[in-house]
Chains A and B, each alone.
Chain A
Amino acid sequence: QKEVEQDPGPLSVPEGAIVSLNCTYSNSAFQYFMWYRQYSRKGPELLMYTYSSGNKEDGRFTAQVDKSSKYISLFIRDSQPSDSATYLCAMWGTHSGGSNYKLTFGKGTLLTVNP
């Protein structure tokens, strides 16, 4: 089982739709959770960072973390064509056998928002 699982999609939605992106993870030592947006041929851009279970909102974006279920989500409200990108979940914490604090990524979900 991979440490972080993310459905690669692709996901296609109409403009204005609510988008739900999800990741599951297996390592209970993960403590910090991030969502990145990556446009083609660009570096990942940090969208949301969360530490504890619960919700965090920033504009049209809401990040949810459920540590008991080892499940994180990113919701995008009123999606726009400019939101079309690959969304990567990532997390870090103590790895089993060591504390190297490496960021572990999901595979990324390719999102297309159609006008």
Chain B
Amino acid sequence: GAVVSQHPSRVICKSGTSVKIECRSLDFQATTMFWYRQFPKQSLMLMATSNEGSKATYEQGVEKDKFLINHASLTLSTLTVTSAHPEDSSFYICSAREGNEQFFGPGTRLTVL
């Protein structure tokens, strides 16, 4: 299947700083990528849909000014958590669709101190 990578896999930062997470589709082009958040022992929660060359579509309750998404090319989308706070600590996972199948990255564990 198609491969989606994420970087970094783990990040620890101080409260108030910004963190950028990269998501790449390695062997296919993705006009649409998705960003999810997952809390322990819970299912994935869609945060936003990232469209190449246009603004992201955010789910209800997700602050677009806090979670900045940039889909600059067909193989790269970035999520920036601005002014991170401890409550933003979570597992962030990106995903991309190839045809009718959707593939996920390995996830990024963010810990905000």
Which residues of A does B touch, CB under 8 Å?
32, 34, 36, 41-46, 49, 51, 88, 90, 92, 100, 102-103, 105-108
B106 touches A49 (CB 8 A): no
Is residue B104 contacting chain A, with contact meaning CB distance below 8 A? yes
Please give the distance in Å from B94's CB to the nearest CB on chain A. Answer: 8
> B34: which A residues are within 8 A, CB to CB?
102-103
Is residue B101 contacting chain A, with contact meaning CB distance below 8 A? yes
A107 and B103 CA atoms in complex are apart in Å by 18
For the side of the interface on B, what is the size category? Answer: 20 to 34
Query: Which segment of B42-50, B60-68, B69-77, B79-87 sits at the interface?
Result: B42-50
B104 lies within 8 A of A43 (CB): yes
Given A103-B34, A103-B46; A46-B106 close (CB under 8 Å): no
| CB closest residue in chain B, given A51 | B100
Query: Do A103 and B43 form a contact, CB below 8 Å, given A41-B91, A41-B109, A42-B107?
Result: no
Cross-interface CB contact of B102 among A34, A100, A106, A107, cutoff 8 Å: A34
- State in angstroms the CA–CA spacing of A105 and B46 once bound together: 10
Q: Are B104 and A45 in contact (CB under 8 A)?
A: yes
**How far apart sit A78 and B101, CA to CA, in the bound complex (Å)?**
26
Given contacts A32-B100, A49-B101, contact A43 B107 (CB under 8 A): yes
Q: Which residue of A lies closest to B101 (CB)?
A: A49
Q: A46-B104, A51-B100, A106-B43 are in contact. List 15 more A-B contacts (CB 8 A).
A: A32-B100, A41-B91, A42-B106, A43-B6, A43-B105, A43-B106, A44-B44, A44-B104, A45-B104, A49-B101, A88-B43, A90-B102, A100-B57, A103-B95, A105-B43
Minimum CB–CB distance for A8 against chain B, Å = 9
Bound Cα distance from A100 to B44, whole angstroms: 17
Name the distance in Å between A63's Cβ and chain B's nearest Cβ: 13
CB distance from A9 to the nearest CB of B (A): 11
Residue of B nearest to A102 (CB): B46
- Tell me which residues across on chain B come within 8 A of A43, comparing CB atoms: 4, 6, 93, 104-107
Most buried by B among A34, A43, A45, A92: A43
